[in-house]
Structure 1
């Protein structure tokens, strides 16, 4: 597949000039005073509306109801008991009014709005009556029926988390899961190992495989096996079953000694993996699949190859990947400069950003689902955390080298990859310079990489592009097997339109996007040939069975 420089008509103006123009914008004192006056009027209006709602609640005529998905208010007392009904309605009226201010108040930019939204949601979620024993009829009933045993178990759970989980409620009971036994069990072998990664070649289950192999580049934030859950829920297993010759990078979990690892380190590692895969596959071009931060690294590596006048890939696909960080997203809550400075200094001091720090930050972005839900279950109800494979993977976190963490902060805060001065392996980022076929998958419920932002990233690329929108959230959209009865996805025209216009023209399809992706890759994977009988061929032998060594670090 030829590679050449190309201009993408969707992108208007040089990105770095756009960044300079944004930097020159500064709100005048008059504009700030006008915004303050308008916001004050909005607060008064919201307060008046809330007062009216509270009066209706007191009289017993309010029709306010919790969302069906809000599990905090499922107990019958919230509907049948006059006191609890009024308490629940009052809380819902107040929290909806307060949270709604994030959209009604004017802010200097979207990042300030997300910071406001984050602060308001922290406040309202913490103030829920269900967070206390007396305000939680389900917990009171459980305590009465168990003779207080549930409260003793809850206290024990709380003390355990206070001592061993930094005071955060444990989200999962991982004791039922073990990597290599019931997780990450798709057969294969480690055929290459270096300081940064292991390369796994998965064993074919078909008599023939496609000529061009596929290299999976997972994110370095989390271990690769969220794509290799239990049999029947494994993306890798499914890809192998479709007759694809499949390889996976398993990143090493860095220690403080690897504090200097950065974008250059990981991009060079991707190019090294591509070189090994090509040698094993007799020199043919490779198809690649990068997910989330792994997609960003893959993009940067391929960008450098194109700048050098060469590229070892035939087609490239991405999942839930952001390159342009100017689209509003919940991560904007973490953008205040003092907070970014603190995070940068913290990881620089320790050499890495710890997995517990990352887990806590992501949890507080969804406090009702990822914090208070487990507060209710573990402490007030005295139950053990649930046993869910995806949550077990989430708890098995990885660290980020301080240098890479610092660069990610630059990309997040300043859009430094697309709009800024950041280079990778010495090459400025120009996604439109590549001219191979590309495939982009995003998730409609994604709070970390919103689908419209992923769509905008797709528009940066040249060549023939396909865009698919899946159901579910950031991880659930990826762990979305054919057996999932709720799976669905949207397909539409090439991503040259506005995102909303694309969605209006797209058609909804039942089933997982996995099949659509596998069909797309298969069309670009060449002819069939006999499946290899030995991992690594002659030059690269089997070092050890999959899932390898690094996944256990």
Structure 2
């Protein structure tokens, strides 16, 4: 008996954490108080809801209920849930309670925001009480019998170990199966430049001739760079090398409290040094710059700063799942965002000097608990299996930190939409205006991205005044990037038009089977100049993946 755990589904749910606010215990308690207050003020509504649930329970006992789990709900995939009368009743009662929760919230007089908060908080409890999470899970019982009880012993050992060493959360990945510089981040290359903030990695060419204009990729500051060089099959860097590009990637230093004062200006100054180095090494006057998530915000800010200073260093931009026009989009900060919460988030990181990626990772796990918590609860503890050896989840758990000052700036940018307001963000005396970025741009979003929603990515692309191509990949925040050719489930949407509405863009888009990577290579090739002889790296400080990635 094996687990129904689906690492791909979990990977599609991860946030790779974006520098947003999250929520606090106080927010959860306040939402519970809101529920209690609504119950006291309108008892008839609550009594009616309980009576409706009780009636549904009677129908379930008589075998007359029609509740069924969602088609993609893998928690109840075992046949026992549909064939065994007892398990059928347990499942029906759970689904009836879930439906009644929606009914109670929908009929309440709570504000829209309070409804969203209430649904989130109460769903956390309801998800935890799912019958699939109990020791009576049919798959767990079968596993117990098959192994003569060894599965239970293994599960208890893993539970104790996670309580002692993993903050009480079930592990998502078998970390012993991976090594950065081994089976991860293994594409040959060298660190050719280093400053206090970043290391610059130049990859060894994989073709005899290469495009003259280089590609430089800036990853998110709160993630390790090797999401772009994961495994050999999922390495976007290797794929670009195989297509004749000169590829450089930034590896950000993992800051400590000593770097608490690092700001956006700090990162831009370091990135400018990296760009100058790339140009010096390749002899190119400019670069094709790519950025992902908060690295996309950095790339856009760098481009705007160059434009304001009249410096032609960015020939084209590629932006992966990046939002820099928030336009009061509450989902980018979360339903618990308020002035009090934002101020508390700033105080928290200021007190520690950094925002720890592990803390934010736990927040994102709670945003998708069935995929990121309870599926591993069942797999690790009830079935006694080891967590999967999955490269994306290993990378996601290999988090970094964010300097307190930069974290505070990002909160302000998200709250005030200041980066999209000309002159509102000033870096080293230079006001930034996205409208002055007139280079060509390739912008990519993900259909199921809950961190940087694709329509917000599209809206952001409208801020750029050059020739912009928007592409919509059929995955979530990270999986939309890690979308190599060969996956039969891959597809993307393309539309050369740029209407104001994201919905109108989608309505006029064409669905293309396969990965968007080949299309990006074609687009990038048109902006990368003639072919020249592949260079030999002769200014290496050390071999890739370097030192900063291990911090």
Task: Give yes or no for contact 2:419–2:434 (8 Å, CA) kept in 1.
Answer: no
Task: Give yes or no for contact 2:356–2:400 (8 Å, CA) kept in 1.
Answer: yes
Q: How far apart are residue 448 of structure 1 and its match?
A: 0.7
Query: Residue in 1 aligned with 2:16?
Result: none
Q: How far apart are residue 36 of structure 1 and its match?
A: 11
Q: How far apart are residue 334 of structure 1 and its match?
A: 4.1
Closer, same or farther in 2 for the Cα pair 1:414/1:386, shift >3 Å?
A: same
Query: Residue in 2 aligned with 1:390?
Result: 392
Q: How far apart are residue 265 of structure 1 and its match?
A: 0.9
1:552 corresponds to 2:539: no
1:340 corresponds to 2:342: yes
Aligned pairs for 1:207-356 (under 5 A) are: 207-325=208-326, 326-329=328-331, 331-356=333-358
Query: Residue in 1 aligned with 2:532?
Result: 529
Closer, same or farther in 2 for the Cα pair 1:465/1:102, shift >3 Å?
A: farther
Distance 2:428 2:110 in 1: 38
Query: Residue in 1 aligned with 2:147?
Result: 146
> 3-state DSSP class of the match of 1:417?
helix
1:506 corresponds to 2:509: yes
> 3-state DSSP class of the match of 2:507?
helix
Task: Give yes or no for contact 2:215–2:287 (8 Å, CA) kept in 1.
Answer: yes
Among 444, 449, 467, which residue is 2:447 paired with?
A: 444
> 3-state DSSP class of the match of 1:169?
coil
Q: How far apart are residue 85 of structure 1 and its match?
A: 0.4
1:195 corresponds to 2:193: no
Distance 2:429 2:141 in 1: 62
> Given the two structures, how large is their TM-score scaled by the length of structure 2?
0.87
> Given the two structures, how large is their TM-score scaled by the length of structure 1?
0.87
Query: Residue in 2 aligned with 1:185?
Result: 186
Query: Residue in 1 aligned with 2:63?
Result: 60
Between 1:217-226 and 1:50-59, the stretch displaced more is: 50-59
Distance 1:41 1:390 in 2: 49
> 3-state DSSP class of the match of 2:315?
strand
Distance 1:36 1:495 in 2: 48
Aligned pairs for 1:316-465 (under 5 A) are: 316-325=317-326, 326-329=328-331, 331-418=333-420, 421-465=424-468
> 3-state DSSP class of the match of 1:287?
strand
Distance 1:519 1:327 in 2: 33
Q: How far apart are residue 542 of structure 1 and its match?
A: 1.0
Distance 1:90 1:505 in 2: 43
Closer, same or farther in 2 for the Cα pair 1:319/1:114, shift >3 Å?
A: farther
Task: Give yes or no for contact 1:256–1:351 (8 Å, CA) kept in 2.
Answer: yes
> 3-state DSSP class of the match of 1:65?
coil
Task: Give yes or no for contact 2:287–2:315 (8 Å, CA) kept in 1.
Answer: yes
1:491 corresponds to 2:489: no
Q: Structure 1 regions of 5+ residues with no counterpart?
A: 1-34, 536-540
Q: How far apart are residue 63 of structure 1 and its match?
A: 2.5
Closer, same or farther in 2 for the Cα pair 1:275/1:128, shift >3 Å?
A: same
Query: Residue in 2 aligned with 1:70?
Result: 73
Closer, same or farther in 2 for the Cα pair 1:372/1:436, shift >3 Å?
A: same
Task: Give yes or no for contact 1:153–1:382 (8 Å, CA) kept in 2.
Answer: yes
Distance 2:47 2:141 in 1: 37
Task: Give yes or no for contact 1:112–1:332 (8 Å, CA) kept in 2.
Answer: no
Q: Structure 2 regions of 5+ residues with no counterpart?
A: 1-37
> 3-state DSSP class of the match of 1:191?
strand
Give the CA RMSD over aligned residues: 2.5
Aligned pairs for 1:30-179 (under 5 A) are: 50=53, 53-99=56-102, 114-134=116-136, 136-179=137-180
> 3-state DSSP class of the match of 1:501?
helix
Q: How far apart are residue 49 of structure 1 and its match?
A: 6.2
Number of residues of Structure 1 aligned to a counterpart in Structure 2: 512
Task: Give yes or no for contact 1:254–1:401 (8 Å, CA) kept in 2.
Answer: yes
Task: Give yes or no for contact 1:115–1:332 (8 Å, CA) kept in 2.
Answer: no
Task: Give yes or no for contact 2:212–2:284 (8 Å, CA) kept in 1.
Answer: no
Distance 2:324 2:109 in 1: 27
> 3-state DSSP class of the match of 1:204?
coil
Task: Give yes or no for contact 1:267–1:425 (8 Å, CA) kept in 2.
Answer: no
Q: How far apart are residue 52 of structure 1 and its match?
A: 5.5
Closer, same or farther in 2 for the Cα pair 1:374/1:330, shift >3 Å?
A: farther
